[in-house]
Amino acid sequence: MAEPLKNYFSHEVVGQIGAIFKRADAAFDDAQYMALATDNLEALELKERVLQVMDALDATLPSDFDAFADRVLASMHESEDASGQGLSFDGRGVCGFAAWPVTDLITRRGIDVPEKALPVLKEATKRFTAEFAIRRFLIEHQNYTLSVLNGWVEDPNRHVRRLVSEGTRPRLPWGLRLQDFVADPTPIMPFLAALRDDREDYVRRSVANSLNDIAKDHPDLVGGLAGDWLKGANAERERLLRHACRTLIKSGHAKTLKAFGYVGDGKIECDLKVLTPAVAYGDALEFGVELSGNLAGKAVMLDYAIHFVKANGSRAPKVFKWKDTSATSNTLVASKRHAIKPITTRRYYPGEHLVEIWVNGVSVASAPFILTMQEQAA
């Protein structure tokens, strides 16, 4: 079993961080830092350890921001792409997870002086990531921070370019939500357009993730953008857009499906056959379909949903991806075997379930099957 991530901030690592700052400034009180940073360390979870190390640095680094910034910059690992080179933190300079409390402290100390703090975050993001730390600046100094990020779009360092797209994600997981951009993503759209063909997949994937965030609140905007960006798109951009639109495609958003060529002409007929009308818990549902219509040469996205019986007797659907293909004729035949077996995320109940077939985001057929239960673990 993998070691808990919190153990990364061990006594040894915390001590190495202190030693780095001691080399940068002989006056650094490493004894006080260690006493504060390691107090009851083993009892703390990951974020608590990060916060405690940050508080220890806050108590022992110079209070003047310029002096503080000098010490932070002097502590950075000499490589400007430490993670890209696969370097682990070993005390030669701050990088990797060891930079997390430092980036958060830059924000704490510098939130009122963004013109001084943002250049320091720019250096820090090359050694770890400042995608979380920069978000308070976007909330409290939005226009100024956006103007700074605009100058970083063409930065030679890939981590800096990624910070532009990742740091402005409206719904970045585990990060402060940028509610202004959730409501209106217009200010960040030029960044995504500028980075969509970035030479690094690492950056392009961040663009895709930001668009996926935006699609949750503005599906038509992203669906329309996909149609525009797919015109003359190379393979890398098409992959970016498929990743960006993954939620919209799965939900059957009409404008997005049309952008990717999934919407065919005319009605699609579906002959659905359930081969196991009664399924015992632990066995599998088996079914097959024959699609017919104006399919030849068209993109076909074939999904299915199982409407599982709930404890109260009602049913709730769960959609599963099946096939994403191009039809070679006006007929497409497919079969599927779906195991009904114990999983940690679902409890099964007996009764009449339903399997439903979706083609290009449209429901085309459904049929019932009975699930019979043996005793299942609580």
Query: What digits encode the pLDDT tens for the residues 218-268?
Result: 999 999 999 999 999 999 999 999 999 988 987 878 899 889 988 665 688
5-259: which CATH number, 1.10.8.100, 1.10.760.10, 1.25.40.290, 1.20.1250.20? 1.25.40.290
Q: What is the pTM of this model?
A: 0.81
Nearest to 196 by CA among 169, 223, 167, 161: 161
Any idea what the Cα angle at residue 46 is, between residues 43 and 50, rounded to 5°? 100
- Residue 91: predicted pLDDT: 83
In which residue ranges of the chain is CATH 1.25.40.290 found?
Answer: 5-259
> Does position 378 have pLDDT exceeding 50, yes or no?
no
- The CATH class that applies to domain 265-372 reads mainly beta
Query: What digits encode the pLDDT tens for the residues 86-108?
Result: 657 888 899 999 999 999 999 99
- Residue 84: predicted pLDDT: 65
Query: What digits encode the pLDDT tens for the residues 106-126?
Result: 999 999 999 999 999 999 999
Alpha-carbon distance of 360 to 186, in angstroms, equals 29
- Residue 80: predicted pLDDT: 86
- Residue 297: predicted pLDDT: 86
Alpha-carbon distance of 250 to 301, in angstroms, equals 9
> Does position 352 have pLDDT exceeding 60, yes or no?
yes
In which residue ranges of the chain is CATH 2.60.40.3880 found?
Answer: 265-372
Find tokens 């070993």 and name the residue: 90
Q: How many CB atoms lie within 10 A of CB 100?
A: 25
Report CA torsion sign: 75, 78, 79, 83: negative
In our burial notation (b when 16+ CB lie closer than 10 A, e otherwise), range 282-307 reads: eeebebebebebebeebbbbbbbbbb
Element (H, E) at 209: helix 201-215
